[in-house]
Amino acid sequence: MLYLIGLGLGDAADITVKGLQAVRSCSRVYLEAYTSVLTVGKEALEEYYGKQLILADRELVEQGADEILKDADVTDVAFLVVGDPFGATTHSDLVLRAVQAGIPYRVIHNASIMNAIGCCGLQLYNFGETVSLVFWTETWRPESYYDKICKNRAAGLHTLCLLDIKLKEQSVENMMRGKKIFEPPRFMTVSQAADQLIQIIRKRRDEGAELGLTEDTVCVGVARLGADDQVIRTATLRQLVSCDLGLPLHSLVVTGQLHPLEVDMLRLNAEPGALQHLRTVDSSTYTS
């Protein structure tokens, strides 16, 4: 049996009872280590679970799935994922490979950023398409996520922005030379994400384009959601550029139309003046 087990968002204790029972029954336990991270390391998980963990990087999961599935038809193998097992689409491929090999599988769910983000005060059914913001380079500055945010806002919907994580990444030079030398881990901050969005806004403004959001659009930055020291900060996009939310992981929400109850919830964690640019759409709806 292949078990895909969600670990939740905080630390070792966030695994479910059902998930922990499955982990302890397995002969091999893999820890997926590239789509997200917990606030504790591999050693803390091993101590809590009572099991040795095998780190599974992107290369192993996407190119060496046969190694993970080896003997899973006659013994139990666990694949651990921070958040929920299907928070990343890459894990669907592992399930399909298991089915093709005649290996039964079971999914044990857990909290993920996709539902825990509701703690910021915005109602989950008012969210549109989730987008990913990537680190820009000197030669690659994609803007497609901006257009998706604008599309959501045009429909009155909020946008959850998942911020880039660089784990076990190679430089172009080392990749071309075939050297297995990896860059230090990098985690995009809410401040960096806000700065990139503002650069796109200014570029589109200079081009004469109609803007779907501005520097004064109300947003919510969150950090280490699910941990004891989680941070939630409501601010304008401009204010978030100078906000330090501390250690990773960070996520950003760009608001759409707001119900009065959402506005009241946003005030609980708002920077001074963050909501002053709100305007009424009708008697029960606000926007920025």
Looking at residue 174, its pLDDT comes to 61
Q: Summarize pLDDT for 122-136 with one digit per residue, the tens.
A: 999 999 999 999 999
Distance CA 215, CA 273 (A): 13
Instruction: Check if the beta carbon of residue 65 is closer than 8 Å to that of residue 93.
Output: yes
Looking at residue 152, its pLDDT comes to 98
Residue 112 labelled as part of a binding site: yes
Q: Nearest-CA neighbor of 263 among 209, 222, 220? A: 220
Looking at residue 99, its pLDDT comes to 96
- Look at residue 137 and give its three-state secondary structure: coil
Q: How confident is the model at residue 111 (pLDDT cuts 50, 70, 90)?
A: very high
Instruction: Check if the beta carbon of residue 34 is closer than 8 Å to that of residue 165.
Output: yes
Residue 225 labelled as part of a binding site: yes
Q: How confident is the model at residue 41 (pLDDT cuts 50, 70, 90)?
A: confident
Distance CA 271, CA 214 (A): 17
Q: Summarize pLDDT for 72-106 with one digit per residue, the tens.
A: 999 999 999 999 999 866 689 899 999 999 999 99
Residue 147 labelled as part of a binding site: no
Residue 163 labelled as part of a binding site: yes
pLDDT exceeds cutoff 70 at 179: no
pLDDT exceeds cutoff 80 at 275: yes
Residue 54 labelled as part of a binding site: no
Over residues 55-82, mean pLDDT: 91
Over residues 258-274, mean pLDDT: 98
Angle at 108 between CA 61 and CA 69, to 5 degrees: 35
Q: Which residue type sits at 34?
A: Y
Residue 66 labelled as part of a binding site: no
Instruction: Check if the beta carbon of residue 69 is closer than 8 Å to that of residue 103.
Output: yes
Instruction: Check if the beta carbon of residue 258 is closer than 8 Å to that of residue 267.
Output: no
Q: Which residue type sits at 70?
A: K
Percent of the chain with pLDDT over 70: 93
Percent of the chain with pLDDT over 90: 80
Integer Rg of the chain from CA: 21
What the chain holds in terms of domains, given with CATH numbers, is: 2-111 (3.40.1010.10), 114-287 (3.30.950.10)
Instruction: Check if the beta carbon of residue 174 is closer than 8 Å to that of residue 181.
Output: yes
Distance CA 187, CA 135 (A): 9
Q: How confident is the model at residue 35 (pLDDT cuts 50, 70, 90)?
A: confident
List, in sequence order, the alpha helices (H) in 155-259: 172-176, 190-206, 237-240
pLDDT exceeds cutoff 70 at 181: no
Distance CA 23, CA 236 (A): 43
Looking at residue 185, its pLDDT comes to 84
Over residues 194-208, mean pLDDT: 98
Distance CA 134, CA 106 (A): 32
Q: How confident is the model at residue 182 (pLDDT cuts 50, 70, 90)?
A: low
Distance CA 17, CA 102 (A): 27
Distance CA 125, CA 114 (A): 11
Give the strand pairing for 218-223 and 231-236.
Answer: antiparallel
